[in-house]
């Protein structure tokens, strides 16, 4: 068929398409009924010729209108289903016309996005391989409300987005384009024309896969993983986390054993953590980040597991393997801030978008990053949906939310004059409070069995109180006060500890104000703080003895516990993300291997006894689960207390933080227990201790002590903790 006259674009449309500022390219490109027939227009920069083809009979060469524009008027009454033959230097490509397709997002999606209530936002925005109107391709969409125009650039168009302008979907701020014929593995970015007319090339904020840093492109992806953890997921919510054993091994995946991929880790990490007996692993941030030295705490790809270790499906494979081994997976999540990289979120569409518009509110004073604008509903939606995404798409069992304190206070690390009070004249960031409440409520509603954990270092009231009671709604909170006080106590030479006894007892004054985790995290073993064993005083034997006694005290103290990798075998050096734990200390050929294996064996036994003893975890958040026996024996450096399960069954924990053996040490005990037996002793010879134990059952005597009618006499080993249970 021969075409009639060409139907070139109006000058304004042509100019806006050439300069990347057209809001509705589909209204002028593609095929449209006009007076006299069907106008077909194509915008194919660098093409020599374009031909429209439909069925067996229609084949029309489009007129070259210049600057990559081609058009023709077809003498038809209805728009045909057509394809384009595009001739370039030495080649002809047959392709669908991206501008003949209807939008891929519907009114419901756009309404929810506009309201900030799209809880599965990742399914609406980003890049998704799909079949649309019977044609396979990929749909792209991005929120950029301040942009004058958005175009799509990638490997498929040689990173020249000129010919792929996206359309703006009403007042939503969302731009969309379905590109036929491209699929998984394609690299892409969004070319955004800012309000001032300049252009910026940006990675997709909702990208679910990225290039390996330092490369920064987003990658079209679709999941092929088939989950095999149905049993874990079915029973995950059977017991509330507060009433369950919860012992966490914190891991930096990239340095745990450097060089391993997600799939390599799936073969090694579950077996190692299972041998140690931890109930959960906590992964330092896995979301994509440009600088490895940030350990993942400066995120640019909030929806993409870091490509350094493999694909998103590879990460799912690791989570799956951990679940099959009976190990829960927590991950660090960082909604407080993001870096200023000019290809990522900062001034994404030419103006502050994800960050606060007030520069004083936007700039994070400690890390050189930008804080999210928690008062903007679309930004809250981006973050709340992100929390849901990790739980639902990757079966994550818990989110440890980083830097909560920096979110809660407007004056955090700021001097007078550098911050503005809230509407009530206070220092509380009310927008951040509302965001955290919404995030927690949404996660708990959508993902049964998941726990959220706050890293919050202040005395903010109600961090783990339910949101309907005015709290933030977290399930657990890191007990930073316990960590600082107890490590300070342990750092003192034993001869001085009696003057610091309160540092080990003060935590019980507020132990039930929140639901706590006792954290010995990566933050405590870097930047000159020394490793855990190196914080301890004395010679090498005493340091290990102090460490063992401290760990058993920690495991018995009310609250869940977390230990960073390498500390389970008394690594002497600080952690370094460059080489990870010093595994050679466990090499049988190493002369002092027994010293390190002894500590690791203790950690295994701590977890074994802990998991089998409900007294140590069932009443963690209830005051009636704890009773002091000797809380004021400062002169002896002794601490003794009972832990009780729901049935009242006790475990007696006694710590002697002095370097001397205390014979016949009398402790008051409940008189209804006929005898006690030693179930764990950190001075055991197998752990590297001196072997001072209580091998025989210990029977109470009718002599009162510590306000109780009966008492027992124990031999307390030096620098050791002993656990006893009813015989």
Task: Write out the catalytic residue numbers.
Answer: 402, 455
Cα distance between residue 431 and residue 409, in whole Å: 10
* Neighbouring residues of 637: CB distance < 8 A, sequence distance ≥ 6: 494, 497, 498, 501, 656, 657, 658
DSSP secondary structure of 221-251: ---------HHHHHHTTSS-GGGS--EEEEE
Is 365 in contact with 409 (CB distance < 8 Å)?
no
Return the SS3 of 653: strand
**DSSP H/E element including 175:** strand 174-180
Left, alpha or beta for 528 (phi > 0: left; psi -120 to 50: alpha)? Answer: left
Cα distance between residue 292 and residue 539, in whole Å: 36
Q: Regarding beta strands 187-193 and 218-219, do their DSSP bridges make them parallel or antiparallel, or are they unpaired?
A: antiparallel
Cα distance between residue 545 and residue 532, in whole Å: 12
CA 536, 284, 328: angle at the middle one, nearest 5?
A: 95
- Across 150-184, b (16+ Cβ under 10 Å) vs e yields bbbbbebbeeebbbbbbbbbeebbbbbbbbbebbe
Is 246 in contact with 330 (CB distance < 8 Å)?
no
Residue closest to 63 by CA, chosen among 6, 13, 3: 6
Structure tokens at 566: 């390498």
Residue closest to 353 by CA, chosen among 329, 370, 331, 334: 370
> Which residue do the tokens 């008027």 mark?
73
First vs last C-alpha separation in the chain: 97
Cα distance between residue 682 and residue 550, in whole Å: 9
Structure tokens at 597: 């294996």
Left, alpha or beta for 335 (phi > 0: left; psi -120 to 50: alpha)? Answer: alpha
């Amino acid at each position: 068929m021969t075409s009639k006259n060409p139907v070139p674009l109006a000058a304004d449309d042509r100019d806006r398409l050439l300069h990347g500022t057209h809001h509705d390219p589909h209204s002028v490109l593609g095929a449209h009924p006009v007076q006299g027939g069907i106008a077909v227009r194509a915008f194919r920069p660098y093409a020599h010729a374009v031909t429209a083809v439909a069925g067996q009979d229609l084949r029309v060469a489009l007129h070259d209108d210049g600057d990559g524009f081609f058009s023709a008027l077809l003498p038809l009454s209805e728009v045909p289903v057509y394809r384009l033959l595009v001739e370039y230097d030495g080649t002809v490509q047959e392709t669908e016309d991206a501008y003949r397709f209807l939008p891929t997002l519907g009114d419901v999606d756009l309404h929810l996005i506009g309201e900030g209530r799209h809880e599965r936002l990742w399914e609406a925005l980003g890049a998704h391989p799909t079949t649309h109107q019977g044609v396979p391709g990929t749909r792209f969409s991005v929120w950029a409300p301040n942009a004058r125009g958005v175009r799509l650039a990638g490997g498929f168009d040689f990173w020249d987005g000129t010919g792929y302008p996206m359309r703006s979907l009403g007042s939503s701020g969302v731009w969309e384009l379905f590109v036929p014929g491209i699929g998984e593995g394609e690299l892409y970015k969004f070319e955004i024309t800012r309000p001032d007319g300049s252009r910026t090339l940006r990675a997709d904020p909702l990208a679910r896969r990225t290039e390996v840093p330092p490369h920064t492109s987003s990658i079209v992806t679709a999941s092929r993983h088939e989950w095999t953890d149905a049993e874990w997921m079915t029973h995950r919510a059977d017991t509330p986390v507060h009433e369950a054993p919860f012992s966490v091994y914190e891991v930096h995946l990239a340095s745990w054993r450097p060089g391993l991929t997600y799939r390599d880790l799936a073969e090694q990490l579950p077996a190692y953590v299972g041998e140690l007996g931890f109930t959960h692993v906590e992964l330092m941030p896995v979301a994509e980040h440009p600088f490895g030295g940030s350990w993942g705490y400066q995120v640019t790809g909030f929806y993409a597991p870091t490509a350094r270790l493999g694909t998103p499906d590879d990460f799912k494979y690791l989570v799956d393997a951990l679940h099959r081994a009976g190990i829960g997976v927590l991950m660090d999540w960082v909604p407080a801030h993001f870096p200023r990289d000019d290809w990522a979120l900062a001034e994404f569409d030419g103006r502050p978008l994800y960050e606060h518009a007030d520069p004083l509110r936007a700039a994070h004073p400690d890390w050189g990053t930008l804080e999210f604008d928690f008062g903007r509903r679309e930004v809250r939606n981006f973050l709340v949906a992100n929390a849901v995404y990790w739980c639902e798409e990757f079966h994550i069992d818990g989110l440890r939310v980083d830097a909560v304190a920096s979110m809660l206070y407007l004056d955090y690390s700021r001097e007078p004059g550098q911050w503005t009070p809230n509407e009530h004249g206070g220092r509380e960031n009310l927008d951040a409070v509302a965001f955290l409440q919404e995030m927690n409520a949404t996660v708990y509603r959508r993902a049964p069995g998941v726990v959220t954990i706050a890293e919050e270092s202040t005395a903010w009231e109600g961090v783990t109180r339910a949101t309907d009671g005015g709290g933030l709604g977290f399930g657990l909170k890191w007990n930073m006060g316990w960590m600082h006080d107890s490590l300070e106590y342990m750092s003192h030479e034993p001869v001085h500890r009696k003057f610091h006894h309160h540092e080990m007892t003060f935590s019980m004054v507020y132990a039930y104000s929140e639901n706590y985790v006792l954290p010995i995290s990566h933050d405590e073993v870097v930047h000159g703080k020394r490793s855990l064993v190196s914080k301890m005083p004395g010679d090498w034997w005493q340091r290990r003895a102090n460490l063992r006694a401290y760990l058993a005290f920690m495991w018995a103290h009310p609250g869940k516990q977390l230990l960073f990798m390498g500390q389970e075998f008394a690594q002497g050096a600080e952690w370094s993300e460059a080489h990870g734990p010093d595994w050679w200390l466990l090499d049988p050929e190493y002369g002092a291997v027994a010293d390190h294996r002894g500590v690791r064996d203790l950690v295994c036994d701590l977890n074994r006894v802990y998991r089998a003893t409900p007294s140590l975890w069932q009443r963690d958040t209830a005051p009636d689960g704890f009773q002091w026996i000797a809380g004021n024996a400062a002169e002896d450096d002794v601490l003794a207390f009972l832990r009780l399960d729901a049935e009242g069954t006790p475990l007696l924990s006694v710590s002697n933080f002095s370097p001397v053996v205390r014979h016949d040490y009398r402790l008051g005990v409940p008189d209804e227990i006929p005898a006690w037996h030693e179930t764990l002793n950190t001075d055991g010879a197998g752990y590297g201790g001196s072997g001072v134990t209580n091998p025989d059952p210990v029977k109470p005597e009718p002599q009162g002590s510590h306000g109780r009618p009966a008492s027992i006499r124990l031999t307390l080993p030096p620098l050791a903790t002993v656990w006893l249970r009813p015989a």
